[in-house]
A and B are shown apart, each in its own frame.
Chain A
Amino acid sequence: MTTDTTTKGATPDATAPGEVVLDARGVTMRFGGLTAVRGVDLTVNSGEIVGLIGPNGAGKTTFFNCLTGLYVPTEGEVRYKGNVLPPKSFKVTAAGIARTFQNIRLFANMTVLENVLVGRHTRTKEGFWSAVLRGPGFHKAEAASRERAMELLEFVGLADKAEHLARNLPYGEQRKLEIARALASEPGLLLLDEPTAGMNPQETRATEELVFAIRDMGIAILVIEHDMRFIFNLCDRVAVLVQGEKLVEGDSATVQGDERVIAAYLGEPFEDAPGDEEVAEVEAAEAHAENTTDAAPGKENDR
């Protein structure tokens, strides 16, 4: 056991490249009269990084929740390695899909190591009696879990902070810890919900490296992101979701060049788009506004 290298140990359900890991067909999600996601098809193959983009409110996170068992799709089905996903989120994790959250949801008052150990929950079996009786099996399993968790912390670069409380980590490291926690459940597919939100360029680049490293472990990745540079650097394929429907899917160049995508993000240009004249006018107005704000304290002094 202990001699296993990181890569080997991390990929128990790693599959041959090219095999379909996730297959969502015609996923539709309705909340009463509102259709948040309508007939979306998406496949993720093993060893692939797929991006999911779209303007705010396009239904990305709803679609994500359909993939992780938080919602059961109203229509359509989601298959993971050929099996329809169970409707409970903990069963989905046990099946092999792990996720991170858009707004970090760590167990803030647990240590970094404990957070990762919680992620190991599905891959260990020790129950209440084993914990109370503490037979040899318990100690062995606990030691193995700890070792695996430390390997993962090493992998994301948090090993020296194992005993810190998760809440005390800086923002970027909390994101890393969330990824490590998700990896601890030994997934075949990792879903990242805006992994670089709020990060500076260096941190974003580090995350990019991390995602590539995870892909190299044989884990397929589906990522939602608003940072276009990040997405187009990273992803083999990008799907664009607009108003609950999939607009385009393809490689970076296809999506970047697609006019409908630009329109969805920036809006259609109007008939008389602002020309140079208007721009100059606006600039003049701004300059004037600055002057007035400077004068404001003086006015107060007069009083």
Chain B
Amino acid sequence: MTTQTTASGTPSTPATGAPSGLFGIPSHIGRALATAGGALTIVSTFTAWTWTDAFPGDLTIYGYPGGLQVLVLIGGVLTTVFGLATYGIKGLRWLIPAGGDAALKLAALATFATAWYTVLAISTELGGLVNLEPGGFFVAITSLAALVGALALPFEQPTPDFIDPDATRWERRKHQAAYGLAVVKAAFATSGTRRPLRSLPAYAEILIIVAILGLGLTVFTYGIGTPYDELFIGFLITVGFGFAALNKSGLVGQASQLTARHQSITTCGAFVAAALFPFTQTNDQYATLGVYILIFATVALGLNIVVGLAGLLDLGYVAFLGVGAYAAALVSGSPSSPFHVHFPFWAAVLIGAAASLVFGVLIGAPTLRLRGDYLAIVTLGFGEIFRITANNLDGTSGPSLTNGSNGISSIPNLDILGFDFGAQHDIAGVTIGRFANYFFLMLIITAVVVLVFRRSGNSRIGRAWVAIREDETAALAMGINGFKVKLIAFAVGASLAGLAGTVQAHVTYTVTPEQYQFAGPIPPNSAFLLAAVVLGGMGTISGPLIGAALLFLIPNKLQFLGDYQLFAFGIALILLMRFRPEGLIPNRRRQLEFHEEAEAPTVLSTTGA
């Protein structure tokens, strides 16, 4: 009786611990299949996949790829190159410093997912498989072959846990599911040890950084410019799995080592790359997105000082953006402002930042005596108080200041030193429109925030913030005036948001209370700001910037989600917190905090943020 159950309970896998693949194909055939599949996928993207151009992107042309085919092509190239690199071909070995098999698997997965998504989208949207040309079937087969071949590559099988022979069927099934998950996880785990980064001459390293930044700009520009839903989804699939493949290959790790070695150059380069963005656009349509993303990202970065460094959970942060915007709008010469004054921009910026600072201190002084959840609730309350007060200062239910729910409208365009931000300008033969003008201005504000974040984070005050976050009692015992230090963090965060608000008022023409809610479908609002910080990675600079870009772009591009947008957002956030609680770009500190069991890279090479 007992022996029988034990036997059936053992999963039917080959000898435990021995390396073998998910499929029973010999590894040399699998590798060949994956590489050849990748190569043939590349070929297939040059054929027609469907007979009609009713599917967006025009996939009917022989000779060159279009639309989603480009993404499949990129996936195919990645797969082929990684496949060749795992053969140990000279000149390609630098691509796989951490072993190529896992990278090959993920690259094949990226190709497969994008190709099959395209094929299925064609079939469903046009009504049936009959709409596929031979090329469509061909790419489906080749990408599948590549994936099967890649998954047949051997990997270290995990040892199954012992099963209690008395376990019920349900428990046994649960156990098998867990083991299956462990096998899949192991299949995509890197096996080899990491090769250390070779040290190159400085100019070569800088050239590589420039190339990386250029690649980043290209990917971002491509994503922002995707004209239809299918392409954007395909873009997300390819970028997601492709990035994972690069990460597994160890290239991402080497790139981050390289950028850490040349931090200032990387930061400057990133700003130059961002400044080049408007020049890649032919019209102002996507520059609009750019400037809104930048406003959102800058405010998120300001919030990151408060949340990421000092550990103060602020749920009403958008109010500071509102204060800055209102302050700038009131002195902008708008006809609906009760003060009929028109200050120059520098004065408006100072007033906006100062007003937010005062508001921040006023809110912070009573609330910062609270800790944790209580602070969060009180700041949430103050955020709403700001919005409702702005709504009521309309002359009937309160003094006339903000024009109530109509807000302050017709805010004139900025004019700095004769440069009219509302007009088009020709720079280097490229026409730069209104939003692009504001994009450049906003970029300067972002640079200021990045500078403040970096410098304050790595100093006496920044260390005090982190100490307070880590252990407030011990920090007090070390002589840190907790209240004062927290108030500084709060005030700095507030005035940086106010700074962004002054530009925002001019970009949007109108400032209304409804722009500054706790939660709403359109970022920036407090919930989305916090989500951007958490999603991107607390305590880092690039984290909130990327988090904000994603949080702005995804709802904006996936219009078909419609009412389910917030729902999808919630699901995504739960999944992220379950599988990557430290955010997309983790701070080294945070990563260690959340993954205690991971083998400890004991040395924290870059101190501070």
Residues of A participating in the B interface, judged by any CB pair closer than 8 Å: 68, 70, 88-90, 93-94, 98-99, 101, 105-111, 113-114, 117-122, 124, 126-128, 130-132, 134, 138, 141-142, 145, 163-165, 167-168, 181, 185
Contacts and interface: CB of A to CB of B under 8 A. Distances in A.
A165 B602 contact: yes
9 contacts: A117-B460, A119-B478, A121-B460, A121-B478, A122-B479, A127-B488, A131-B459, A134-B455, A164-B602
B589 A109 contact: yes
A127 B604 CA distance: 25
Nearest to A141: B460
A240 B24 CA distance: 75
> From DSSP, what is the main secondary structure of chain B's interface residues?
helix
Contacts of A89: 476-477
A131 B455 contact: yes
Contacts of B476: 88-90
A98 B476 CA distance: 11
Given A107-B470, A117-B463, A168-B602, A181 B488 contact: no
A167 B592 contact: yes
Pick the most buried of B451, B466, B488, B605: most chain A CB atoms within 10 A of its CB.
Answer: B466
Contact of B605 (A106, A108, A130, A163): A163
Contacts of B467: 107, 110, 118
B273 interface: no
The 4 closest A-B pairs by CB, nearest first: A122-B479, A131-B459, A93-B479, A105-B474
Contacts of B474: 101, 105-107
B607 A99 contact: no
A120 B488 CA distance: 19
A111 B458 CA distance: 13
A119 B476 CA distance: 10
A132 to B, nearest CB: 5
**Which of B459, B477, B480, B607 counts the most chain A CB atoms within 10 A?**
B477
**Chain B: number of interface residues, binned into ranges:** 35 or more
B455 A118 contact: no
B471 A107 contact: yes
Given A128-B461, A163-B604, A107 B466 contact: yes
A282 to B, nearest CB: 40
A109 B470 contact: yes
Contacts of B460: 117, 120-121, 124, 126-127, 131, 141-142, 145
Nearest to B462: A131
Contacts of A167: 592
Contacts of B603: 163-164
Given A132-B452, A163-B604, A110 B463 contact: yes
B65 to A, nearest CB: 47
Given A93-B477, A131-B456, A118 B492 contact: no
B84 interface: no
Given A132-B451, A134-B455, A118 B593 contact: no
A118 B607 contact: no
A109 B452 contact: no
Given A127-B461, A185-B479, 19 more contacts: A90-B479, A93-B478, A94-B479, A98-B477, A101-B477, A105-B477, A110-B466, A118-B464, A119-B479, A121-B463, A121-B479, A121-B480, A127-B488, A130-B459, A131-B455, A132-B456, A163-B604, A165-B602, A167-B592
B602 A109 contact: no
A177 to B, nearest CB: 12
Contacts of B463: 110, 114, 117-118, 121
A185 B602 CA distance: 26
Given A110-B466, A118-B463, A118-B467, A165 B455 contact: no
B480 A68 contact: no
